[in-house]
């Protein structure tokens, strides 16, 4: 699903935000004076990643029926589930 909606970069930015927060916690434990900049970087990366995750929802196109159609990556094949045949009832 992540690859289908082109969200790999957003996930990567969120992971970098978490890793920079871990680096901040380590640096603050050793009382490094510039550790707060790692905290700022962490917050910015997490916010950018969160907004990037909302991108497909915010910029979805409406089809003729008024329903939102989320644009997906055309190179990714989506498995089509076979429709279940319902037995005819008498």
Taking only the tens place, the pLDDT of each residue in 20-70 is 999 999 999 999 999 999 999 999 999 999 999 988 778 777 666 766 666
Cα–Cα dist 41/13, whole Å = 11
Q: How far apart, in whole angstroms, are the C-alpha atoms of residue 50 and residue 61?
A: 20
pLDDT the model gives residue 46: 97
Q: pTM for this structure?
A: 0.70
Distances (CA, A) of 72 to 4, 8, 17, 54, 81: 6, 13, 25, 14, 18
pLDDT at 56: 78
| Cα–Cα distance measured from residue 11 to residue 7, given in angstroms and rounded to the nearest whole number | 6
pLDDT recorded at residue 64:
67
């Amino acid at each position: 699903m992540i690859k289908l909606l082109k969200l790999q970069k957003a996930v990567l930015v969120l992971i970098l935000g978490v890793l920079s927060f871990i680096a901040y916690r380590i640096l603050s434990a050793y009382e490094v004076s510039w550790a707060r900049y790692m905290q700022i970087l962490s917050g910015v990366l997490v916010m950018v990643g969160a907004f990037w995750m909302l991108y497909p929802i915010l910029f979805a196109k409406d089809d003729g029926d008024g329903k939102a159609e989320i644009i997906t990556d055309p190179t990714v094949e989506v498995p089509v589930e076979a429709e279940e045949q319902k037995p005819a009832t008498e």
